[in-house]
Amino acid sequence: MDDLLTALQNGDGERTQSFVREHIGWMLAVSNRIMRDPHHGEDAVQNAFAKIFDKIGQFKGDAAIKTWMHRIVVNECLMLMRKLRRTQTVMVDDLQPMYDKNGCRIEEPWVTMETPESLALQSDTRAQVNKKIMQLPDNYRIVLVLRDIEELTTLEVAEMLQVSEANVKVRLHRARAALKKLLEPLMRGLPE
């Protein structure tokens, strides 16, 4: 490990290239999930590598290098989103659960509910789920991607987005509720 860090710091061309090739795939997957379009996804990855090479001397080895790099990619994505002004608030009210005037839930009865296991057997499930996640407005989608998919903690997400933990929790819940609504046809086994 120390050996790799030294090689990277010294600008060892061969080691740098294999390091980039080893990590760029998953980094691009993360940034595409956050940025939603491959062009900006690539920009964020490029910025992230610049930051990584710049800061590699400060990496203390107290966490796994992949975890450290993951935080950097996510941060670079968020910075790029801010620069692109893609952080406006868009509502997902029409995808939220409904209640009557007594606060009783109005929910279409679930005659059948597919399980994640049965859906996993269908080849295009992941693509369909991805498509629905991409339909969420950025301000909700990002919180869901960071907490549920990238598995950051509520506190980490709050710090990265510079909002309160309570704000993250409210948005996360609304994002999940909206996604549940969007995935209903799939979970009810109804073709679109």
Residues within the interface to another protein (CB under 8 A): 11, 13, 16-17, 20-21, 24-26, 28-29, 32-33, 42, 45-46, 49-50, 53, 97, 99-100, 102-111, 113-116, 119-120, 125-126, 129-130, 133, 144, 148-151, 169, 172-173, 176-177, 179-180, 183-184, 186-187
Q: Which lies closer to Zn ion via its Cβ, residue 107 or residue 117?
A: 107
**Pairwise CA distance, residues 65 & 67, whole Å:** 5
Can you list the pairs that 118-127 forms with residues at least 24 positions away whose Cβ atoms lie under 8 Å? 119/186, 119/187, 125/186
Indicate the DSSP class of residue 75. Answer: H
**Pairwise CA distance, residues 95 & 35, whole Å:** 22
Indicate the DSSP class of residue 137. Answer: -
Q: Which lies closer to Zn ion via its Cβ, residue 39 or residue 105?
A: 105
In the complex, the smallest distance separating the C-beta of residue 97 from Zn ion, rounded to whole angstroms, is 10
Residues 123-142 that bind Zn ion (CB under 5 A): none
Q: What would you report as the CA-atom Rg of the chain, rounded to the nearest whole angstrom?
A: 20
The stretch among 4-12, 46-54, 105-113, 127-135 that binds Zn ion (CB under 5 A) is 105-113
Binding site for Zn ion (CB under 5 A): 105
